[in-house]
């Protein structure tokens, strides 16, 4: 059934005032020293409600690559989202959890031929392209596909510039559309991606205007254009950008270039937006060393500033913390599970491997840690679990209210039921769902 939880998940009800922090405490006591995640899916629900309120015309297609935890996919499916899948494996996951093919966009402009064959065999028809060779492959292996032309747009204000790798230029779009027509392929829309963590809301306006130009070009060639995909790049916190500000610009731009009476369906591919703040990572200190600072004033060996503490934890940049390399602008701020000491030392935190690149943090001031202490890292839900591929052991913890809601045929949000999200607080005031993964 769409949205049902994986059968191998153990469920525990959050009751009698139990909190997500209590879950972390209990798992630290139960587990050895292995790192683990705790997820509060109340954050996912709140993000969904905020999206629906701020961008009512834009249906989210969750980017599975960001966090492919089955429980996350199941919950978002139950909430009515679609899914942006970038590979055969992601399509298989979505389908196995009850997602229907029409709720999937195969959003990868350069796909292996056998992945295209698989998509065709499963009825996953909507897919992106940005070059002629891709059109030839699709013509051979999925001629009935509904194609979406991905265009390159300005990404100068984004922290990660995806258009270096994907996207057809506006000057080449016309030729690609003509080639698609020659091959008898069906182009139904345009997609773009402004890059990850875009800091300029007007970038979306320019990209939507460019999409309008390509729509008009395609219509002149006889294509029936019905879909605009405005991509992803939305932050999961308001640290970098203000989601409300971006929403306002997007809505105004859609009204100008794709008014509702045009009949064009608008979708987006948020990933980080839904899951970043929902997950907390717990890591264990497995080793430490003290490096004395060689300064003229280093006689007082007990003074914090005269020494640097180096800690080694059991996760690193080649595991869940790869964002240190991929998104260095996103600052990781670990904190002690239990603060026992006041004096802070300049510290370096290393991952567990022998590679000197495996450095999580440096010049970070925290109280002295002991081997066996635990560090917690919030906002750990994006591009962590999906990159670190290890067997998952998940234990679900939920409220009594959600116990009933998890009969997913009854799972409806306040917005779906016509309730005012500003006044419907009951589902937002208690932890919605939490689980741990090690």
User: Is residue 105 helix, strand or coil?
Assistant: strand
Count how many domains the chain has: 2
d(CA 37, CA 35): 7
Distance CA(382)–CA(375), nearest Å, equals 18
Residues 126 and 232 grouped into a single domain: yes
- DSSP state letter for 248: H
Tokens of 370: 């002991």
The pLDDT value given to residue 257: 98
Q: Which of 223, 258, 276 is the last residue of a domain?
A: 276
Give the active site residues: 354
**177 and 306, same structural domain?**
no
- Whether 435 and 289 map to the same domain: the answer is yes
Show the CA angle centred on residue 157, arms to residues 51 and 248, nearest 5°.
Answer: 30
pLDDT score, position 132? 97
Same domain (yes/no): 287, 415 = yes
Output the CA torsion 408→413→416→417 (10° steps).
100
Do 239 and 382 fall into the same domain?
no
Q: What's the confidence (pLDDT) of residue 29?
A: 84
Residues 269 and 414 both lie in one domain: no
Q: Are 67 and 56 in contact (CB under 8 A)?
A: no
Q: Are 433 and 16 within 8 A, CB to CB?
A: no
Given a contact cutoff of 8 angstroms between Cβ atoms, the answer to whether 122 and 135 are in contact is no
Which residues, other chains included, contact 231 with Cβ-Cβ below 8 Å and sequence gap of 6+?
191, 192, 193, 194, 268, 269
Which residue, 276, 304, 333, sits at the end of a domain?
276
Residue pLDDT, tens place only, 178-190:
999 999 999 999 9
Identify how many contiguous H helices and E strands the chain contains and give both numbers.
12, 20
| Residue spans of alpha helices (H) in 327-420 | 400-405
The verdict on 234 and 342 lying in the same domain is no
Q: In this structure, are 261 and 341 located in the same domain?
A: no
pLDDT score, position 224: 96
**Helix, strand, coil percentages for the chain (3-state, nearest 5):** 35, 25, 40
Looking at the structure, do residues 166 and 189 belong to the same domain, yes or no? yes
**Domain with 308 in it: what CATH number?**
2.40.37.10
Q: How many CA atoms lie within 13 A of 352 on its CB side?
A: 13
Nearest-angstrom CA–CA distance, 245 and 247? 5
CA-CA distances (angstroms) from residue 122 to 88, 148, 363, 404?
A: 10, 18, 51, 32
Same domain for 423 and 333, yes or no, is yes
Closest C-alpha among 110, 141, 153, 102 to residue 128: 110
Q: Note down pLDDT in tens along the chain; length 438 residues.
A: 444 444 334 455 667 777 878 888 888 888 778 888 888 888 899 999 999 999 999 999 999 999 998 989 999 999 999 999 999 999 999 999 999 999 999 999 999 999 999 999 999 999 999 999 999 999 999 999 999 999 999 766 656 555 567 899 999 999 999 999 999 999 999 999 987 776 677 889 999 999 999 999 999 999 999 999 999 988 888 766 788 989 999 999 999 999 999 999 999 999 999 999 988 899 999 999 999 887 655 454 444 568 899 999 999 988 888 877 777 667 788 999 887 777 899 999 999 999 999 999 999 999 999 999 999 999 989 888 887 654 434 445 555 555 555 554 444 443 344 334 333 333 333 334 455 555
CB-CB contact of 217 with 173 (8 Å): yes
Domain CATH for 141: 3.20.20.10
Q: Indicate if 191 and 323 belong to the same structural domain.
A: no
**pLDDT (tens digit per residue) in 260-269:** 999 999 999 9
Rounded CA separation 36/315 (Å): 10
- Which of 409, 417, 408, 414 is CA-nearest to residue 427? 414
* Closest CA relative to residue 127, chosen from 95, 64, 181, 85: 85
Domain match, 116 and 30 both: no
Which of 220, 255, 276 is the endpoint of a domain? 276
List the structure tokens of 353: 């491997």
Neighbours of 287 (CB within 10 A): 12
Bridge partners (DSSP) of residue 395 are 10, 436
Exposed/middle/buried for residue 37 (C-beta within 10 Å: 0-12, 13-18, 19+): buried
Enclosing domain of residue 315: 1-41+279-438
């Amino acid at each position: 059934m769409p949205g049902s939880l994986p059968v191998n998940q153990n469920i525990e009800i959050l009751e009698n005032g139990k909190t997500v922090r209590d879950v972390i405490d209990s798992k630290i006591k139960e587990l050895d020293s292995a790192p683990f995640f705790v997820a509060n899916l109340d954050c996912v629900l709140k993000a969904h409600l905020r999206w629906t309120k701020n961008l009512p015309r834009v249906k989210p297609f969750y980017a599975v690559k960001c966090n492919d935890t089955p429980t996350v996919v199941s919950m978002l499916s139950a909430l009515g989202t679609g899914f942006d899948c970038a590979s055969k494996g992601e399509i298989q996951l979505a389908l196995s959890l009850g997602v229907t093919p029409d709720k999937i966009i195969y959003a990868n402009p350069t796909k292996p031929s056998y992945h295209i064959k698989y998509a065709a065999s499963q009825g996953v028809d909507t897919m992106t392209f940005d070059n002629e060779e891709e059109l030839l492959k699709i013509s051979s292996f999925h001629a009935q596909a509904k194609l979406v032309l991905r265009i390159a747009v300005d990404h100068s204000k984004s922290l990660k510039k995806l258009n270096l790798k994907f996207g057809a230029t506006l000057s080449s779009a016309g030729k690609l559309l003509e080639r698609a027509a020659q091959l008898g392929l069906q182009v139904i829309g345009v997609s773009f991606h402004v890059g990850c963590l875009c800091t300029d809301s007007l970038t979306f306006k320019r990209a939507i205007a460019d999409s309008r130009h390509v729509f008009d070009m395609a219509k002149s060639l006889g294509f029936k254009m019905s879909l605009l995909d405005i991509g992803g790049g939305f932050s999961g916190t308001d640290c970098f950008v203000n989601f409300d500000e971006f929403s306002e610009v997007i809505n105004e731009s859609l009204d100008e270039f794709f008014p509702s009476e045009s009949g064009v369906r608008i979708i987006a591919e948020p990933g980080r937006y839904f899951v970043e703040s929902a997950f907390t990572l717990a890591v264990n200190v497995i080793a430490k060393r003290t490096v004395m600072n060689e300064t003229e004033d280093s006689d007082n060996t007990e003074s914090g500033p005269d020494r640097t503490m180096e800690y080694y934890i059991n996760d690193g940049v080649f595991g869940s913390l790869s964002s240190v390399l991929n998104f260095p602008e996103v600052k990781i701020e670990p904190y002690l599970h239990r603060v026992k000491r006041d004096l802070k030392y300049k510290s370096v935190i290393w991952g567990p491997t022998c590679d000197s690149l495996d450095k999580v943090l440096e010049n970070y001031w925290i109280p002295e840690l002991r081997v066996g202490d635990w560090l917690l890292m919030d906002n750990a839900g994006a591009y962590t679990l999906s990159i670190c591929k290890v067997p998952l052991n998940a234990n679900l913890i939920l409220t009594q209210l959600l116990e009933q809601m998890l009969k997913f045929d009854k799972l409806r949000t306040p917005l779906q039921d016509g309730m005012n999200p500003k006044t419907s607080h009951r589902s937002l005031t208690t932890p919605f769902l939490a689980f741990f993964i090690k």
